[in-house]
Structure 1
Amino acid sequence: MNLRSLHQSFWTPTQRSMRSWALAAVVVNAGITVTGAAVRLTGSGLGCPTWPRCTPDSFIPVAHPEISPINTAIEFGNRMLTFLVLAVAVACFLAALRLTPRRPALVRLAVLQPLGVLTQGLWGGLVVRSALNPVTVSVHFLISIGMIAAAFALYARSGEADNPPQRLVHRDIRTLGFVLVGAVLTLLVAGVVVTGTGPHSGDEAASRFAFDIETVARIHADLVWVAVGLTIALAFALHVTNAPGLARRAALTLFLVELAQGVIGYVQYFLAVPAFLVGLHVLGSTLVWIATLRVVFLMRDRGALVGAGPVFAHAESR
């Protein structure tokens, strides 16, 4: 794609390009969530010890006697990725605003992207100024989870019409899907508590939650089994009621992602949480969240939208 076509994709958008930008928002928000964890896992959380400057006297990295240049480069690089997320967020908003005919639902969802990036940036400053207090670090991750949800909602809505939603499954199965979303969100919150209690603080000066790591890890593991059990129940219910094939396969995909995530989680626990596996676990968390949202969106239909592409086609035969 050249610069001209890139510009046209959000300045004179089509239904397809609108959807492409929404998908890009999902990808970059998930990506910066993982790279943010990498900053912490490499001990680079205070590689730039001030905010908005990198050092007290400079917005860009300069030699600092107390900080490794590698740590500074990692932290500064992650800050620069914020501008990529912001660029995609602005493109999403402009595409939704200039789409013809304009769809107010998309505009409302799209405006959450630049507002979310602004919120994340300001909160990131608080994370640095609090010397990586685990509460601020945890909220920083949860804001990213909210950003991913908003981006995925934009992606889903940009591929369907604006008709009133129609259930494709029994009401109780739809309710089970919402319960699963709540369970996975609770699991993610428990995960950040475990992270805030564990050894990877991001810097030697960072504080930790005053919880017993064994206790919080076991609570987290129990919540994993709750989420997996609900996923199995949902997949079984979709199968026996002959729900649309796309929804059935989405539930199976979620189960497989959860299975892989569980394996990583148990292995990292028994290996004393090596940084690399913790990073994979964070990636798995974002994939579990996205897969969960996908299942729920595939259990209802707002009608086909011409020109948006076949990715979210609810009209698939059973």
Structure 2
Amino acid sequence: MKAFRVLSVATAVVTYALVVLGGVVRVSGSGLGCPDWPLCHGHLLPPLSLHAIIEYSHRTTASLTSALVLLTAAVAWLAWRKRRDLVIPATVALGLLIVQVILGAITVRLELPPMIVLAHLATAMALLGAVCVTAVAALTPAPAGAIDRVARRRMLLAASGTYLLLISGSLVVGG
């Protein structure tokens, strides 16, 4: 379990870094620093321009995140299949990752349409949430009993409210 704990925490940390880099891409106006996808200006490596390097850093971190999310889900399924508290969020994260990669490509190819940028952010936040839930579950003992229904509802309400606040903030500033 120790190795899975390290893996799941590393996945959460790298995913967080990816979200931060996504924010840097957004505020620096580097979203089209690499105007094509998956290459950058038609090459594997970016040109030596600030916007291209920022966007390429985001893509490189996305590649590392993808590998970690995939590995986390695979290990959860193969080694911890009976721990639904690990398998479910790890599997959700993998599904969200697939959606996120597709949205990232669409975002670049359509030259940053605000609603696609918003969907990309929304999916990133959900992905970060899923990998964090996986990491927290890996760091805690297997649940002995069911979580109190009232507590579960309150947790979901709080998480949903926070998520909506994050997404609405992006919508207000134009995607």
TM superposition score normalised by structure 2:
0.85
- Amino acid corresponding to residue 130 of structure 1 in structure 2: L
What is aligned with 1:195?
Answer: 173
Contact 1:120/1:140, CA 8 A, preserved across alignment: yes
More deviation, 107-116/40-49: 107-116
What is aligned with 1:31?
Answer: 17
* CA distance 1:183–1:94, shift in 2 (3 Å): closer
Tell me, what secondary structure is at the counterpart of 2:112? coil
Tell me, what secondary structure is at the counterpart of 1:112? helix
Distance in 1 between residues matched to 2:117 and 2:67, nearest whole Å: 24
The superposition leaves residues 46-77 of structure 1 with CA deviations (integer Å, 9 ceiling, x where unpaired) of 1111112212x3233247xxxxx111111112
Given the alignment, which residue of 37, 51, 58 partners 2:43?
58
Identity %: 27
The superposition leaves residues 4-35 of structure 1 with CA deviations (integer Å, 9 ceiling, x where unpaired) of xxxxxxxxxxx122122222222122211110
Tell me, what secondary structure is at the counterpart of 1:23? helix
- Amino acid corresponding to residue 166 of structure 1 in structure 2: I
Distance in 1 between residues matched to 2:66 and 2:108, nearest whole Å: 20
Distance in 2 between residues matched to 1:184 and 1:110, nearest whole Å: 21
Contact 1:82/1:117, CA 8 A, preserved across alignment: no
What is aligned with 2:82?
Answer: 103
How much has 1:177 moved relative to structure 2? 3.6
Q: Normalized per residue, which structure has more helix?
A: 2
- Amino acid corresponding to residue 143 of structure 1 in structure 2: T
User: What is the CA RMSD across the aligned residues, in angstroms?
Assistant: 2.3
How much has 1:142 moved relative to structure 2? 0.7
Query: Is residue 94 of structure 2 the alignment partner of residue 117 of structure 1?
Result: no
Distance in 2 between residues matched to 1:153 and 1:117, nearest whole Å: 15
TM superposition score normalised by structure 1:
0.49
Contact 1:96/1:103, CA 8 A, preserved across alignment: no
Query: What is the aligned length?
Result: 173
Contact 2:11/2:68, CA 8 A, preserved across alignment: yes
* CA distance 1:178–1:113, shift in 2 (3 Å): closer
Tell me, what secondary structure is at the counterpart of 2:174? helix
What is aligned with 2:157?
Answer: 179
Q: Which has the larger radius of gyration?
A: 1
Distance in 2 between residues matched to 1:27 and 1:62, nearest whole Å: 28
Given the alignment, which residue of 110, 114, 118 partners 1:134?
114
5+ residue gaps, structure 2, are none
How much has 1:173 moved relative to structure 2? 5.6
Distance in 2 between residues matched to 1:34 and 1:111, nearest whole Å: 23
Distance in 2 between residues matched to 1:109 and 1:73, nearest whole Å: 32
Tell me, what secondary structure is at the counterpart of 1:150? helix
What is aligned with 1:306?
Answer: none
* CA distance 1:46–1:172, shift in 2 (3 Å): same
Distance in 1 between residues matched to 2:98 and 2:164, nearest whole Å: 25
Q: Which runs of 4+ in 1 moved over 4 A?
A: 171-174
